[in-house]
């Protein structure tokens, strides 16, 4: 559910929001926390900067557990801001289906933002949807032109440090927007959740070269704040 205010601006009600988790770790205890979290989740699964070439049984089980617990596993695919050969991207998508048939959607990383690449991403969107009702998330990490919202089920409109989070994030298309924020204190996490009404959020205090190789220290508190 969402309601409209002003000129087509949509706001997601607080109780409707969920987590979008970049689960870029290979730790069973962390996976168990993700699977058992009592909140709506999209979980980005990334075995090898994409699906890899061989099935990993641990990832297969992780995906299966996510589905069993009503979470949505989405497979990582990168596009180099629309400069990667689109046939290679489609090959990755096909490999996801072949190795991990329980995958429920795709996280299209390094998405462009301008009109010059729109046809590239529309082609990918149409290709994925031709396979079935799979969820498509684009990640430009910033706000793209509005036409991109017609070729995605959700868009990550900000990915970056808490201190650089734009005030206008999720002010429009909130019901189709996500933010991924790192290097955030617990206080900042609570403030972001109180003012940003995106459909999905992920906020972590991790701040090293890979802020997604662990869960935030306040993971349970973040869930409670969202709920």
Q: Please report, for the chain, the start and end positions of each structural domain, with discontinuous segments joined by +.
A: 21-226
**Phi-psi region at 37: left, alpha or beta (left = phi > 0; alpha = psi -120 to 50):** beta
Rg (CA), the chain: 17
Residue 14 has pLDDT above 50, yes or no: no
Q: How many CB atoms lie within 10 A of CB 31?
A: 21
User: Which residue's entry shows tokens 């870029």?
Assistant: 24
36 in helix, strand or coil?
helix
Residue 12 has pLDDT above 80, yes or no: no
Residue 70 has pLDDT above 50, yes or no: yes
Look up the pTM and report it. 0.93
- What is the model's pLDDT at position 5? 31
What top-level class would CATH report for the domain 21-226? alpha beta
Q: With bands split at pLDDT 50, 70 and 90, how would you rate the model's confidence at 16?
A: confident
């Amino acid at each position: 559910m969402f309601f409209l205010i002003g000129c087509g601006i949509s706001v997601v009600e607080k109780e409707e929001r969920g987590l979008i988790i970049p689960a870029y770790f290979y730790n069973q205890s962390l996976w168990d926390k993700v699977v058992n979290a009592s909140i709506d989740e999209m979980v980005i699964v990334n075995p090898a900067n994409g699906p890899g070439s061989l099935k990993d049984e641990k990832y297969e089980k992780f995906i299966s557990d996510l589905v069993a617990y009503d979470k949505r596993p989405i497979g990582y695919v990168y596009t180099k801001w629309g400069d990667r050969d689109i046939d290679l991207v489609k090959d990755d998508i096909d490999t996801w289906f072949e190795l991990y048939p329980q995958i429920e959607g795709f996280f299209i990383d390094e998405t462009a933002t301008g009109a010059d690449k729109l046809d590239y991403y529309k082609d990918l969107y149409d290709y994925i949807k031709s396979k079935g009702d799979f969820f498509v998330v684009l990640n430009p990490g910033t706000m793209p032109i509005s036409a991109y919202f017609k070729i995605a089920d959700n868009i990550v409109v900000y990915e970056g440090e808490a201190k650089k989070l734009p005030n206008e994030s999720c002010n429009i298309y909130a019901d189709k927007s996500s933010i991924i924020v790192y290097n955030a204190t617990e206080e900042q996490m609570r403030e972001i959740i109180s003012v940003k009404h995106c459909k999905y959020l992920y906020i972590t205090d991790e701040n090293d070269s890979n802020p997604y190789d662990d869960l935030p220290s306040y993971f349970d508190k973040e869930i409670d704040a969202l709920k």
